[in-house]
Amino acid sequence: MKLQEIREKLDLALKSSVQSLDVEVTAAYSSDILSDVISHAREGNIWLTLHTHSNIVAVAVLQSLAGIILVGGRQPEEDTLERANKEQIPILTTKLSAFEIAGRLYELGIRG
């Protein structure tokens, strides 16, 4: 499923200025330990986290993730957005908790 479609269906807010959300989301991963994410997430995954600092962009670039969803209504820091825009990493936000949004993604057929 394309990130654009996920964004529409789950009513996610797009925060970074990416050119296109026409990327295929292969699976999802939810974790707040960065080492865990770079060791277990895979290319094209969408990542659920509550971290907002700029290192999440580095992790997404390293693993070629499809994008990052910040959960629980958290907003990205300014330099996080700056780096995300530079690296063309989509950052989306939701008011829902990680558990809730993971469940919705699962309902859409996205697997881990």
Partner 1 sequence: MEIRFNKTLEILYELKVGDAMKQEVITIGPGDTMAMLNDTMSKHRLSGVPVVEGGKLVGLISISDIISWLIKGGGDALIQDWMVKDPQCLYTDQPLIHAIKRFDQLGYGRFPVLDRESGQLSGIITKGDIILGTLHKMEHDYSEEEIRQYRASHFFEDINADHIDLSLSFNIAGLDFDRAGIASTTMKKNLKRLGLQPDVIRRASIASYEAEMNQVIYGGGGTMRFNINDEKIIILAEDRGPGIADIDLAMQEGYTTAEPWVRELGFGAGMGLPNIKKCADKFEITSTPGVGTTLRIEILITGAGNETTRDT
Cβ proximity to partner 1: between 7 and 49 the closer is 49
Residue-level length of the chain: 112
- Binding positions for partner 1, 36-55, rule CB under 8 A: 36, 38-39, 43, 49, 51, 53-55
Cβ proximity to partner 1: between 10 and 38 the closer is 38
Which amino acid, residue 91? I
Helices (H), 11-111: 34-40, 55-62, 78-87, 98-107
Q: How far apart are CA 3 and CA 24, in angstroms?
A: 6
Residues within the interface to partner 1 (CB under 8 A):
32-36, 38-39, 43, 49, 51, 53-56, 58-59, 61-63, 79, 87
